[in-house]
Amino acid sequence: MDLKIKGKVFLISGGAKGIGAAISNVLSEEGAIPVMIDPSIAEGKEMLQKWKSEGTQGAQFEKRLSNTEDAKDAVMFALEKFGQIDGIVNNAGANDSIGLENGDPHKFRASVEKNLGHYYDLVHFALPQLKKSKGSIVNISSKTALTGQGNTSGYTAAKGAQLSLTREWAVELLPYGIRVNAVIPAEVMTPLYSNWIKTFEDPEKKLAEIENRIPLEKRMTTAREIADTVVFLLSARSSHTTGQLLFVDGGYTHLDRAIGT
């Protein structure tokens, strides 16, 4: 299937590692131009070299979106290099374990800002270009926004807000033909997830317990499976889909996990 995104430019926050890297790679495979917003220089360089060898383009803005000016600079970087922006993938974030008992009001606010503010900033500064291209926005959230997890109030508050903004922006941007959707992963093996698993006394046992609770095939979702859905939503092949919250999680969030036991 031709996704009709060849030559189109997409910004991906956190685009050089984990789910973000998978999204960037699938975009490149489809002939699009990924712009990775990510301070992971070595990983980004390797991806850019691979794309060049395959005859495709891409770029890396080597910063984390720590403040509003970083987002503005990332947009200007993409425009100076490629002259257009056709879509945004808001993906960067970290489950920083700022809970109710183990945190404090200042850490909570900092956690929400770190995981939420740049979603707004990047879209805000890219909006004039998205209006021209009738672009598409995909927000990556988390199952924790709906299920809770415990001891991560800041992260889950931000993830829930991302879902709310998805619906809000879908309404606000209707007049411009800009579509806005969210993808909600559950258990995906990324570098951050791997580091979390390693904190347990018996990581292999903990991983097996988690996989056994995933209804479809008793396995983790792959980053590629998340990426395929995201890229479809970015493409013209999903031209009448907006304001949707898509769960790519093997049924983890909504199916009764007792059915597979």
Q: Give the per-residue SS3 of 65-90.
A: CCCHHHHHHHHHHHHHHHCCCCEEEE
Per-residue pLDDT reduced to its tens digit, 139-177: 999 999 999 999 999 999 999 999 999 999 999 999 999
Whether the Cβ atoms of residue 250 and residue 217 lie closer than 8 Å to each other: yes
Per-residue pLDDT reduced to its tens digit, 171-194: 999 999 999 999 999 999 888 888
Residue 23 has pLDDT above 90, yes or no: yes
Residue 149: its pLDDT value, please?
A: 93
Cβ atoms within 10 Å, residue 192: 16
Residue 48 has pLDDT above 70, yes or no: yes
**pTM for this prediction:** 0.96
Per-residue pLDDT reduced to its tens digit, 2-12: 999 999 999 99
Whether the Cβ atoms of residue 90 and residue 14 lie closer than 8 Å to each other: no
* Span 83-94, average pLDDT: 97
Task: State how far Cα 225 lies from the chain centre.
Answer: 13
To the nearest 10 degrees (0 to 180), the angle between helices 68-82 and 105-133 is: 20
Mean pLDDT of the chain: 96
Residue 261 has pLDDT above 80, yes or no: no
66 Cβ contact partners less than 8 Å away, ≥ 6 residues apart: 114, 118
Question: What's at 29, amino acid-wise?
Answer: E
Residue 191: its pLDDT value, please?
A: 84
Residue 7: its pLDDT value, please?
A: 98
Q: Which two tokens mark 182?
A: 């969210």
Q: Among the options 119, 120, 155, 193, which is catalytic?
A: 155
Q: How confident is the model at residue 68 (pLDDT cuts 50, 70, 90)?
A: very high
* Span 100-124, average pLDDT: 97
Query: Is position 193 annotated as part of the catalytic site?
Result: no
Whether the Cβ atoms of residue 223 and residue 22 lie closer than 8 Å to each other: yes
Residue 196: its pLDDT value, please?
A: 83
Q: Which domains occur in the chain, in start order?
A: 9-187+223-249 (3.40.50.720)
Residue 260: its pLDDT value, please?
A: 61
Distance (Å) of CA 99 to CA 144, 150, 157, 187, 211? 13, 7, 11, 20, 25
